Chain A
């Protein structure tokens, strides 16, 4: 097995995807190369990926799907001739519930078929926008899961189903949970706390509701 991992985040080495990739790769002993979509031509990277029997594309979710730069790589990927190549995906995202990624997951499994690659599955982890800013100990569980995922991948050439299942939780938000989250935000203790902190740090809090492209009435 020789593995190519493509980090599909526009933030490249500074993003959360990079952290996912690093911890996953910790568990892997087989030859494994990591490349960043942000620093390379999409066509080059697509062509380069043909040299590997196993390709993993890791990415942040953007608007229920892959970032534009990842789709540009996909557009340059050619169907495999002999069907001996394999492809899997790791998706991490801001929203908590992994069900938000169902469009992407469906697309990626279909894409593998289109490309005549064996589909290895898609790992989905929500609530990950803050991973790169969180203190090490808050990420402990996640990092351990990723390493196990890597070790199992190294052993079996596939993602561990149980780990996938655990990481995907919560799949949906219950009514009660939604009410609670909504309520926490109203009192400024939910996820809005994070935005407030960042906006204040950037001295942009007063401008948070700006509407720079609003058309003043009557003009075109």
Chain B
């Protein structure tokens, strides 16, 4: 099984084919230029994530170790999500009863997210979890797990 890790914290080694450590390489911010849709379809004007895109699409599973920042995903993590737009088509489908982007690729990895940090309320925690589920729903990935890091068990994740 091919695994990709996206990490913002911790140093437990998770066996994987590719690791993106946001503490070492913060992705460049999306400029909103839409080149990835309308000028060079599928390619961002920034090249810093090219190896990541390739690994992500080849992976069976992506494990995200995310911080909680002001009750939400961090700015770096948010930028990474923004920068994943090139993996989808500009075209919109309404089949699910709401607007949604059409996939560009045939297959996307399953995603599991584990987070570290504190929330000021139960509501805030729920919103954080719902939000990550929603992003990967929009990204056509199966995402069953968004949990506190304490739930993370290596064996389970590599099953």
A positions within 8 Å CB-CB of B: 9-11, 15, 38, 42, 60, 62-69, 71-72, 74-75, 77, 95-97, 99-100, 103, 106-107, 110-111, 113-114, 172-173, 175, 177-179, 181-182, 185, 191-192, 195, 198-199, 202, 204, 207-215, 220
Contacts and interface: CB of A to CB of B under 8 A. Distances in A.
Contact of B92 (A9, A191, A210): A191
Nearest to A17: B32
Nearest to B134: A64
A67 to B, nearest CB: 6
A199 B86 CA distance: 15
B56 to A, nearest CB: 8
Interface of B is mostly: mixed
B140 interface: no
Given A11-B32, A95-B92, A199-B38, A74 B54 contact: no
B57 A208 contact: no
Given A62-B78, A63-B138, A204-B38, 9 more contacts: A69-B29, A103-B134, A178-B94, A178-B98, A181-B94, A192-B92, A210-B104, A220-B2, A220-B58
A62 B138 CA distance: 12
A77 B2 CA distance: 39
B91 A213 contact: no
Contacts of A182: 93-95
A69 B92 CA distance: 25
A154 B6 CA distance: 45
Contacts, number: 168
B32 A107 contact: no
A96 B94 CA distance: 11
The 5 closest A-B pairs by CB, nearest first: A68-B79, A72-B75, A95-B99, A178-B94, A71-B75
Contact of B30 (A62, A177, A208, A213): A62
Contacts of A181: 92, 94
Contacts of B41: 199, 204, 207-210
Interface string B28-45: 011111000111111100
Interface centre among B87, B94, B121 (most CB of A within 10 A): B94
A75 B91 contact: no
Contacts of B144: none
B121 to A, nearest CB: 8
Contacts of A65: 72-73, 78, 81, 131
A178 B97 contact: yes
